[in-house]
Amino acid sequence: MTTYFDEPQSMYYRFGEDQSQVLKVLAERYIGANAQADFVYRAFQREGILQTSSGLYDLNLGERFPEVIKGQLVYAAGLVWGDEERNLDVLLRCYGPVRFFFNGALHYRSNVMDELEPDSTVKVSIDIKPGWNTLVLEMKYTPAGFGCQFGSDEGKVRILNVVAPFAERAGQAGWAYSVPFTPERQTTVNSHSSSADATILVPESLDVFGHEQDNGLQWLPRQAWNEQEQVLPPLERMYGRSVHQSVYAWTRINHTDPQSHSIRLHGQASGSLHIWLQQQEVVRLEQAGSFDVTVPVHFGFNDLLVCSTCSDADTPWQFTVQAHNKEQNVQPELPWRIRGTGHENWLYAGPFASGAEPAPEWMNRMDRLYDGGGNSIAQHTYWRLDRPGTWIRPYYENAMLSNKWTVGQVTNYGRWDYPLGVTIYGLLQAGDYLNRPDIVRYAAEHVQSCTRMYDYSLWDREQYGFPAINQQLVMLKMLDNCGSFGSAMLQAYGACEEPTFLPIAERIADFILTRLERQPDGAFYRKCIGEYAANTMWADDLYMSTPFLVRYARLTGRTEALDEAARQFLLFRKYLYMPEQQIMSHVYDFKYNQATQVPWGRGNGWTLFSLSEVLEALPKNHAQRGELIAFFNDLCAGYVALQADSGLWHQVLNEPDTYEEASCTAMFAYGFARGVRFGWLHDPGIYTAAAQKAWNGLTRHAIDRQGNVHGVCSGSRYAFTPEYYDRDLRTVTNDNHGIGIMMLAGTEVARMKQHLGQTIGVSDGILS
């Protein structure tokens, strides 16, 4: 038997069969470890290094520096934060000679084949350490090319957020890169040395935490306006002098005097001007002029929003606003926590056609893209700073960083990916069962944080090549990117009726029903040209598709989605079912026209889990219902025969020497319990006992008394041998592939017992 902790540490030792207590601890531990947190907002310069559609940073220096001389060098430098030690594979595609330094050590030097073969991609493994990690690329110009592409392998999943180096750029997103220089003429980069001898610059000697001017190079993108731009008013240098165009400007006033309840606002404008304080209009100028008003103010922060219109092509476009409390000037400050802004204190959005501006009540927020008057999303706009080409971008980052670059809470909150879809579903079901609206609300708000930024993330991709958030939803190339989280999104719709869910559901449904790759018989499969998974069918994809189709059909009334879900089960059975043991192979490989014949536990768990979701939704008169119920019984018979004495199932179901795995066990418990409750099983007594045995096994051997989940296999590739699954796929504590399914298994086993009238105990008024 596989042991993950000692018996006194188990959830069963602490709570026995009190399922309500177990579910509470599971849900509360997860929420406590993944506190609600907004995206990290950073300044980003559009003139900087952008990404390709696959997420690689494109340092094509030949396009940026057409006058470069043979032999000149450019350095690009950046920082990457590590929450903990982890390994990451990065890809390099060289346009010319490249050296890559990681944390001061040379990790890669290109060879002639890398440099001259245009399609050559090199994979380099790096070990990210806790704290800041330094990246330096040295790129030399030759007539064959100049620069490289650089980024993480599978960029939409293993996101590599590069932050600018140097004190002057602290907190900004993106690389800093030097102007080309001839190394023989470059003086030493050691600012503490008095030597002025010519030397070749060594990349590892760059002080990326110091001041950029100390290393003797000129760095881009530029941080300040040039002399001609500096003489223009802020609105004019950002937007030009566009008559009948308006711009919103947003700041906030920190009122710290508890004895005073008003402030004085005064200033002037070159055209019409509207000012709102805490969403109450306090100034309205219909034409150029000045204003001087005393307005009520709250203690603490007060949002101040200005809408300025350019009314005259012959007059500089500008406005001024000053705030005074009694005789003291009140300095405005940025209305949102944004890294890399220096001394800026205003955000700007526009331009908008005068009279067609967004309503002011929509402006004091960061989760909205604004219509700039065009028909395409590329013509929309977002917030920016009064700096050359500098916009605000939200980033999903595992750690929330302070202005002093210190690490804070690690969180999964606000991320869209398929394991989190299962987690959200588990929280929704556990919250409903426990009558805990706070748990349901947390799960729904996680989904809302993604969907409310969906339009923005599409625009972000248009502007910068690769989206900073919602990467998988925006790219939408396979079922992993949409089905699981999309299903959780529709499950959450009943709790919040968030309108942004519906257009995303339509896009996912269109992808699955009309654009997803299929075999000639209509079966879903993974085309994945040029990848390891090319031309394969995975049992996992039943979960990545059919639960979403079921919920979409229920919400919209489109029965063809439900019919497709039923059809896919029969097609997958044709390719993956192992009738001798009544279990499923993990993968069918069309390159070899055969199944792997390896019954991976979680792949089989996805199958039974998803089939129960489809059966629940199928009408009694549906043409495939009888055949699918028979298939459900066949699978359950195969699975129950392989249950270990501990109550768990093995990582490879028919290989008892492989370790006992928790996530597949939870899914079999879930499927058995639903089969009993809905009356699909021919011999429910066997499966009632097996489901209870599985749940007790999980609480004894896989869930500890703090609610940590052990024994969950990491995300899988596939193989034709069981050794890969047992030896290469090790377990991960608190992996999102397992946390949600534990809650789902617990709620379903509890509901099964309620259905059968088995009252084990009562906790907080809830039958368990």
CATH of the domain at 290: 2.60.120
Quick one: 555 and 628 in the same domain?
yes
Structure tokens given for 259: 């004895």
Question: What is the distance between the alpha carbons of residues 559 and 493, in angstroms, rounded to a whole number?
Answer: 19
Query: Using alpha carbons only, what angle is made at residue 624 by residues 623 and 629, rounded to the nearest 5 degrees?
Result: 130
Domain final position from 220, 245, 266: 220
In this structure, the answer to whether residues 352 and 426 fall within a common structural domain is: no
Task: Note down the domain range covering 697.
Answer: 7-34+414-763
Say whether both 248 and 380 belong to one domain: yes
Distance CA 755, CA 563 (A): 29
Q: What is the CATH number of the domain that holds 663?
A: 1.50.10.10
> What pLDDT shows up at residue 158?
84
Q: Of the given ranges (44-53, 115-124, 242-251), which has the lowest mean pLDDT? A: 115-124
Please list the residues that pair with 328 across neighbouring strands.
325
**Mean of per-residue pLDDT scores for the chain:** 91
Is the same domain home to 598 and 715? Answer: yes
Does any domain span residue 638?
yes
Asked if 618 and 625 touch (Cβ cutoff 8 Å), the reply is yes
Residue 541 belongs to some domain of the structure? yes
The secondary structure of residue 188, as a DSSP letter, is: P
Asked if 577 and 719 sit in the same domain, the reply is yes
Are 236 and 176 part of one and the same domain? no
pLDDT tens digits for range 437-450? 999 999 999 999 99
Residue 407 lies in a domain: no
- Pair 370, 311 in one domain: yes
- Is it the case that residue 575 has pLDDT exceeding 90? yes
Are residues 72 and 20 part of one domain? no
The answer on pLDDT for 108 being more than 90 is yes
Looking at the DSSP bridge assignments, the partners of residue 79 are 134, 163
Q: Write down which residue in 188, 220, 252 finishes a domain.
A: 220
Task: Based on the fold, state whether residues 612 and 642 are members of the same structural domain.
Answer: yes
What b/e sequence results for 672-698 when a residue is b if at least 16 CB atoms lie within 10 Å of its CB, and e otherwise? bbbbbbeebbeebeebbebbbbbbbbb
Tokens linked to 759: 């009252």
Name the CA dihedral angle for 169, 171, 175, 177, rounded to a multiple of 10 degrees. 10
Answer yes or no: do 213 and 235 share one domain.
no
* Site of tokens 């906030």: 252
Considering the domain boundaries, does residue 395 fall inside one?
no
pLDDT value of residue 410: 45
Question: What pLDDT shows up at residue 117?
Answer: 86
The residue type at 757: G
Which of residues 159, 193, 220 is at a domain's end?
Answer: 220
Is position 265 within any domain? yes
Residue 605 lies in a domain: yes
Same domain, 29 and 99: no
Both 320 and 440 in a single domain? no
Q: What is the pLDDT of residues 370-386, one digit of tens each?
A: 998 766 777 899 999 99
* Cβ atoms 109, 101 nearer than 8 A: no
- Residue (of 308, 417, 427, 344) closest to 171 by Cα position: 344
pLDDT in tens, 583-623: 999 999 999 999 999 999 999 999 999 999 999 999 999 99
Number of domains in the chain: 3
| Number of H-type helices and E-type strands within the chain | 21, 33
In a domain, residue 626? The reply is yes
Contacts of residue 579, Cβ cutoff 8 Å, sequence gap at least 6: none
**Is residue 406 domain-resident?**
no
Q: How many degrees, rounded to 5, is the angle at CA 683 between CA 678 and CA 689?
A: 85
